[in-house]
Chains A and B, each alone.
Chain A
Amino acid sequence: MVAFNTLTLDHVGRSFGGQAALVDLTMDIHGGEFIALLGPSGCGKTTALNCLAGLLPLTTGDIRIDDQRVDTLPPEKRDFGMVFQNYALFPHMSVAKNVSFGLQMRHVGKDAMRTRVAEALAMVKLTDYAARLPGQLSGGQQQRVAIARAIVTEPRLVLMDEPLSNLDAKLRLDMRGEIRRLHQSLGLTTVYVTHDQEEALSMADRLVVLRLGHVQQIGKPTELHSNPVNYYVADFMGYRNLLDMRSTRADGRAITVAGVGIELGGVASHHTIAADEDVVAAIRPEDIRVGTGPNAFTATVEVAEYRGSGYAIDAVTSTGQTIHLLSGESHPVGAALTLTVRPERVLVYPKDPDVPVGGAAGAAPEVAP
Chain B
Amino acid sequence: MSGTVATPVRPSLAHRLAERGIDRTLWLVVPGAVFIVAFFVYPFLYGLSLSLTPSGGDTCGAYSGVLASYHCFFADPFQDGWGTIGKTLRLALPAALFNVVASIPIAYQLRGKFRGKRFLQTMLVVPISLGTVLVAAGLLNFAGRSGWINRFLLLIHVIHKPLALVNNYWGVLFSLIITGFPFAFLLVSSYLSGIDPSLEQAAALMGAGWWQRFSRVLLPLLAPGLATTFMLTFVLAFSVFPSATLVGNPAGSTRVIALVAYQAYAEKFDYSLASAIAIVMGLVELLVVGLVAVWRSTLYRGSTGGKG
- Which residues of A pack against B, CB within 8 Å? 53-55, 74-82, 84, 86, 88-92, 101-102, 105-106, 133, 135, 149, 153, 159
CB-nearest residue of chain B to A161: B198
Are A90 and B207 interface neighbours, CB within 8 A? no
The smallest C-beta distance from A156 to any residue of chain B, in angstroms, reads 12
B303 touches A135 (CB 8 A): yes
Instruction: Please report the C-alpha to C-alpha distance between residue A81 and residue B304 in the assembled complex, in whole angstroms.
Output: 22
Q: How far apart sit A197 and B204, CA to CA, in the bound complex (Å)? A: 30
Is there contact, CB below 8 Å, between A86 and B300? no
Q: How many A-B residue pairs have CB under 8 A?
A: 74
Query: Known: A82-B202, A88-B196, A91-B221. Is A153-B207 also a contact (CB below 8 A)?
Result: yes
Taken residue by residue from 103 to 140, chain B's Cβ proximity to chain A (1 for < 8 Å, 0 otherwise) reads as: 00000000000000000000000000000000000000
- Do A88 and B204 touch (CB < 8 A)? no
Nearest CB in chain A: distance from B157 CB, A = 44
| B contact residues around A55 at 8 Å (CB) | 201, 204-205
Q: Residue of A at shortest CB range from B223?
A: A92
Across the interface, do B205 and A86 meet the contact criterion of CB distance under 8 Å?
Answer: no
Inter-chain contacts of B205 with A (CB < 8 A): 53-55, 75-76, 78, 80-82, 159
A135 and chain B: residue at smallest CB distance: B302
Decide if B207 touches A105 in the complex (CB within 8 Å).
yes
Whether a CB of chain A sits under 8 angstroms from the CB of B305 is yes
B203 touches A86 (CB 8 A): no
Name the one of B204, B209, B217 contacting A90, with C-beta atoms under 8 angstroms: B217
Does chain A have a CB within 8 A of B146? no
How many Å lie between the Cα of A153 and that of B208 in the bound state? 13
Residues of B within 8 A of A101 (CB): 203, 206, 208, 216
Neighbouring A residues of B221 by C-beta, 8 Å: 91-92
Contact A105 B199 (CB under 8 A): no
A88 in complex: contacting residue of B202, B220, B302, CB < 8 Å? B202
**Would B303 and A153 count as touching, CB distance under 8 A?**
no
- Please name the residue on chain A nearest to B299 by beta carbon: A92
Q: Are A84 and B201 in contact (CB under 8 A)?
A: yes
**Is B190's beta carbon under 8 Å from chain A?**
no
- In the bound complex, CA of A74 to CA of B209 (Å): 9
Do B204 and A75 have beta carbons less than 8 Å apart?
Answer: yes
| Residue B212 is within 8 A (CB to CB) of chain A in the complex | yes
Beta-carbon contact of B202 and A84 below 8 Å? yes
Q: Report A152 CB to chain B, min CB distance, Å.
A: 9
Known contacts A76-B204, A101-B203; 5 further A-B pairs (Cβ under 8 A): A81-B205, A82-B201, A88-B196, A92-B300, A105-B207
A86-B302 in contact (CB<8A) = no
**B207 near A91 (CB under 8 angstroms)?**
no
Q: How big is chain B's contact interface, by range?
A: 20 to 34
Residues of B within 8 A of A76 (CB): 204-209
Chain A residues, CB < 8 A from B202: 82, 84, 88-90, 149
Are A102 and B304 in contact (CB-based, < 8 A)? no
Closest Cβ of chain A to B23, distance in Å, is 32
CB distance from B192 to the nearest CB of A (A): 15
- B245-263 interface bits toward A, Cβ cutoff 8 Å, 1 = contact, 0 = none: 0000000000000000000
Measured between beta carbons, the chain B residues less than 8 angstroms from A92 are 220-221, 300, 302
Q: Are B206 and A149 in contact (CB under 8 A)?
A: yes
Q: CA of A102 to CA of B217 in the docked complex: distance in angstroms?
A: 13
CB of A122 to closest CB in B, whole Å: 20
A91 and B204 within 8 A (CB)? no
A90–B199 contact, CB under 8 A? yes
24 CB-based A-B contacts, threshold 8 Å: A54-B205, A55-B201, A55-B204, A75-B204, A76-B204, A76-B208, A77-B207, A81-B206, A82-B202, A84-B202, A88-B199, A88-B202, A88-B305, A90-B203, A90-B217, A91-B300, A92-B220, A92-B300, A101-B203, A105-B207, A105-B208, A153-B206, A153-B207, A159-B205
**Residues A84 and B300 in contact, CB atoms below 8 Å apart:** no
Contact between A79 and B207, CB atoms less than 8 A apart: yes
Which residues of chain B have C-beta atoms less than 8 A from A81's C-beta? 205-206
CA–CA, A92 to B298, complex, Å? 12
Residue among B202, B209, B217 having the largest count of chain A Cβ atoms under 10 Å: B202
B202-257: which have CB < 8 Å to A?
Answer: 202-209, 212, 216-217, 220-221
B201→A88 contact, CB < 8 A: yes
Question: CA A77 – CA B205 in complex, angstroms?
Answer: 8
Q: Across the interface, which residues of A come within 8 angstroms of B196, CB to CB? A: 86, 88
Cα–Cα distance between A79 and B207 once the two chains are bound (Å): 7
B209 contacts across to A, CB distance below 8 A: 76
Q: Which of B204, B205, B207 neighbours the largest number of chain A CB atoms within 10 Å of its CB?
A: B205
Contact in complex: B206, A74 (CB < 8 Å):
no
4 A-B pairs closest in CB distance? A102-B206, A92-B300, A105-B207, A88-B202
**Complex contacts, A133 vs chain B, CB 8 Å:** 300, 302
The smallest C-beta distance from B232 to any residue of chain A, in angstroms, reads 23
CA distance A349 to B302 in the complex (A): 54
With a cutoff of 8 Å between Cβ atoms, the chain A residues found around residue B305 in the complex are 86, 88, 91
Query: In the complex, what residue of chain B is closest to A146 when comparing beta carbons?
Result: B202
B195 nearest CB neighbor, chain A only: A91
Q: Which residue of A lies closest to B203 (CB)?
A: A101
Q: CB within 8 Å of A: which of B75-93?
A: none
CB distance from A110 to the nearest CB of B (A): 17
How far apart are the CA atoms of A47 and B305 in the complex, in Å? 22
Nearest Cβ distance between residue B203 and chain A, in whole angstroms?
A: 7
Taking CB atoms, residues of chain B closer than 8 Å to A89 are 202
With both chains docked as a complex, state the minimum distance between the C-beta of B258 and any C-beta of chain A, in angstroms.
39
Q: Are A91 and B304 in contact (CB under 8 A)?
A: yes
Q: Which residues on B sit within 8 Å (CB–CB) of A135?
A: 302-303
- Give chain B residues whose Cβ lies under 8 Å from the Cβ of A84: 198, 201-202
Q: How far is the CA of A268 from the CA of B167 in the complex (A)?
A: 89
Q: Are B212 and A105 in contact (CB under 8 A)?
A: yes
Kindly list chain B residues whose C-beta atoms are within 8 Å of the C-beta of A75. Answer: 201, 204-205
- Give, as a whole number of angstroms, the nearest-CB distance from B298 to chain A: 12
